[in-house]
Structure 1
């Protein structure tokens, strides 16, 4: 497969960078070395592709930690300007258009659970305190709760932002008719393989089950109709 990719790249005038090309495998793959024109390609446990951390174990914790660092870098770029703005709405729009997308980038692809959601919300609260110039000690002394801080900042909730992004992306994936790999992988089911013992890992589509219609219709069937999907999303 690597040789086929290399040949296809050469056919259109591209060259694979041997120093940047690595191989990732899962626990069932053969551990033999992979070479390309005499060069042994190194193995890696994870890599970043288009700003998203990719790993075989789908380590969402590591990805959210990366997103948190990116969000802190983003707020560092606007912090001085945000503190000079007296209008709450303008300051919130500045945060929502720069910091929030950095924190929730590619969140539509997350198989989120309670732990990852809590990590996301905690990261946003810390960023929110920086935006308001209120540290933990001052927050406690003023007896400010999370709802009070949100009322003062006026920013969008990260959990809601990520959930809306996921609903929109799910609808696009289902309604595609060009047989893209994203759609095929979403609905692929390994029927010939028996599931291991224990609680199954959280699936990407698990959170979308709450969007199923009252008639028992599967969420993917509801999403086929854009209008019905928008109505279902608006209810939840």
Structure 2
């Protein structure tokens, strides 16, 4: 049995249907739970490599064909996985910051562990570090204003989509 993206003599799957399946089924499965991850350049790079491999399979294009990634993305027309992950991360941060019911989620976000593995000379990467870099130290107040929060989302997503 072949891949989901392969075609056989009896079944010709149109590119628009492959794109729709990818957008509605595959992408949500890959990005499930990513809103709580600390984003790193290495993580974004690995997700993009996975997505590009799937896009090549959708087009039945090999690496040996030497077709640029931009050309493949233009043909397939799917959402960039880095953009989706960053958007989910930002939306979840806003949701947590707007909570006022005293649940532990907000306390966990503001908690700083005293120990932990880290890169030499750098503190451990925290989930809220990138969010605070874009929204400022008063990110909880910024999240209360949804119009402001959504405008800051574009900046946050852009910083992760411009990588590699």
- In the superposition, the TM-score normalised over structure 2's length comes to 0.79
Partners of 2:21 and 2:105 in 1: CA distance:
33
The equivalences for 1:200-211 within 5 A come to 200-211=123-134
> Cα offset for 1:118?
0.8
Larger strand share, 1 or 2: 1
- Larger RCO, structure (CA 8 Å, separation 6 or more): 2
Query: Is 2:18 aligned against 1:91?
Result: yes
Partner of residue 128 from structure 1, selected from 55, 66, 74: 55
Task: Count residues in correspondence.
Answer: 150
Over aligned residue pairs, what C-alpha RMSD do you find?
2.5
1:178 corresponds to which of 98, 101, 104: 101
- Could you tell me which runs of 5 or more consecutive residues in structure 1 were left unpaired when the two chains were aligned: 1-74
Tell me, in whole angstroms, the C-alpha distance in 1 between the residues paired with 2:21 and 2:81: 15
Aligned to 1:79: 5
- The structure with the greater share of residues assigned to helix is 2
Q: Which runs of 4+ in 1 moved over 4 A?
A: 193-197
1:139-154 → structure 2 map (5 Å cutoff): 140=66, 144-154=67-77
Q: CA deviation at 1:194?
A: 8.0
TM-score (norm 1): 0.57
Asked which structure has the greater CA Rg, the reply is 1
Secondary structure of 1:179's counterpart equals coil
Change (3 A) 1:121 1:194: closer
2:30 corresponds, among 103, 109, 119, to: 103
Number of the residue aligned with 1:33 = none
> How far, CA to CA, are the matches of 1:205 and 1:146 in structure 2?
31
- In the TM superposition, residue 235 of structure 1 has moved relative to its aligned partner by 4.3
